[in-house]
Amino acid sequence: MNVMLQVNDLSKNFNDFQAVKNLSFTVNQGDVYGFLGQNGAGKSTTLRMLLKLIKPTSGEIIFSGTNIIGDDNAMLKQTGAIIERPDVYKYLSAYDNLYIFAKMSGIKTTRKLIMDQLEMVGLADRFDSKAKTYSQGMKQRLGIAIALVHSPKLIILDEPTNGLDPQGIADMRNLILRLSREMGKTVIVSSHLLSEIELVANRMIIIHKGEKIVEGDVATLLDPADTVVEINTTDNETAFLQLQQTQWKERTTKTTKNIRVRTNKNDVPQIINMLSGVGINLLAVQPRHSLEDYFLSLTNNDTHVEPFTN
């Protein structure tokens, strides 16, 4: 797999605050690369450095073999992006927005090319409607059409589902997959929602307080063979003692709220049957990826966490 983007020891300081700390990651050509972290983790700062909107304090950004720090054009000519909400001319139609942005980019375009772009993002039937009449999801899709107007190799989307309703989220998810599978684009998509990254990305990174926690293939990181099962019963003490007499003895812990068993997801019915068979009433059984459990632990507390190794 060809490496498109290699980031090495990237850091950004704002006076005494270090927003990004020695961050390194790799995006391969054709990846849908998930950039995951809670709000304030440093995702947007990192993406802004990639797009030359913020100057790094230190580190390297290597795009297609070239270190782009100090080169204003090497990466930008081949990149389309939406950071936060897309900027569109709200009193112009979708068609006119694309036409103007194409002209600003120095792109020679035709009506067919513009309509093809709008068709790709699902807006061809509203091509002549003013952008101000669009829902937030439609504006996001128009923003992506604008980002694609110069046929970039890399698309960067910062929290593209923020503020969208369930249908808008589904539409955005499907569009990201189309960009990858049908158009062959490499996509970096940031989010604070693991469930969204799981559905679209093939590779991912988690950052916390500007530092990398884990990076790897989504299928490996979310392996069902490594699942945490949270169990709550009417008698957690007895349930815990029962599990201590089973094959899950070394993988069972008890918290103040529930019992946790690290196991293969396929073992969950067996655990339920065992507890029910000895007369323990189950109130809740929640299988959760160990990575999800880990990510939530970062999100829900502010303590230092050692990097997760896969």
Lowest mean pLDDT, pick from 90-99, 121-130, 193-202, 297-306: 297-306
**CA–CA distance, 178 with 194 (Å, rounded to integer):** 20
Say if residue 124 is in the same domain as residue 263. Answer: no
Residues 259 and 204 occupy one common structural domain = no
Determine, yes or no, domain membership for 176: yes
Q: What is the rounded distance in angstroms from the CA atom of residue 36 to the CA atom of residue 148?
A: 23
> Same domain, yes or no, for 176 and 136?
yes
Domain count, the chain: 2
Q: Which residue among 175, 200, 220 closes a domain?
A: 220
Q: What pLDDT does residue 216 have? A: 92
Q: What's the domain range around 266?
A: 227-299
CA dihedral 167, 170, 172, 174 (to 10 degrees): -140
203 by DSSP, 3-state: which? Answer: strand
Q: Does residue 67 have a pLDDT over 90? A: no
Question: Of 220, 244, 267, which marks where a domain is finished?
Answer: 220
Checking if the pLDDT of 297 tops 90, the result is: no
182: tokens are 């049908």
Neighbouring-strand partners of residue 23: 10
The answer to whether residue 66 scores a pLDDT higher than 90 is no
Residue 307 domain-assigned (yes or no): no
Residues 213 and 250 in one domain: no
Query: What is the per-residue pLDDT for 295?
Result: 73
Q: Are residues 64 and 182 in the same domain?
A: yes
Q: Are residues 207 and 259 in the same domain?
A: no
Helix (H/G/I), strand (E/B), else coil: 73 = coil
Residue 303 has a pLDDT of 42
pLDDT tens-digit series, residues 276-293: 999 999 999 988 776 777
Out of 167-176, 221-230, 297-306, which region has the weakest mean confidence (pLDDT)? 297-306
In a domain? residue 236: yes
Are residues 189 and 240 part of one domain? Answer: no
Q: Are residues 173 and 211 in the same domain?
A: yes
Asked whether the predicted pLDDT for residue 307 surpasses 70, the reply is no
The model's pLDDT over 16-26, given as tens digits with 9 standing for 90+, comes to 999 999 999 99
Q: How far apart are CA 264 and CA 275, in angstroms?
A: 17
Residue 251 lies in a domain: yes
Q: Are residues 122 and 248 in the same domain?
A: no
According to DSSP, the residues that pair with 212 across neighbouring strands are 207
pLDDT band at 301 (very low <50, low <70, confident <90, very high): low
Across 71-75, 278-282, 300-304, the highest mean pLDDT is recorded for: 278-282
Residue 130 DSSP class: B
Q: Looking at the structure, do residues 191 and 260 belong to the same domain, yes or no?
A: no
Whether 62 maps to a domain, the answer reads: yes
DSSP state of 235: -
| pTM of this structure | 0.80
pLDDT band at 299 (very low <50, low <70, confident <90, very high): low
Within a domain: 305: no
The enclosing domain of 29 has a CATH number of 3.40.50.300
One domain for residues 34 and 136: yes
d(CA 70, CA 22): 19
| CATH number of the domain enclosing 245 | 3.30.70
Same domain, 72 and 160: yes
Collapsing DSSP to helix, strand or coil, 32 comes out as strand
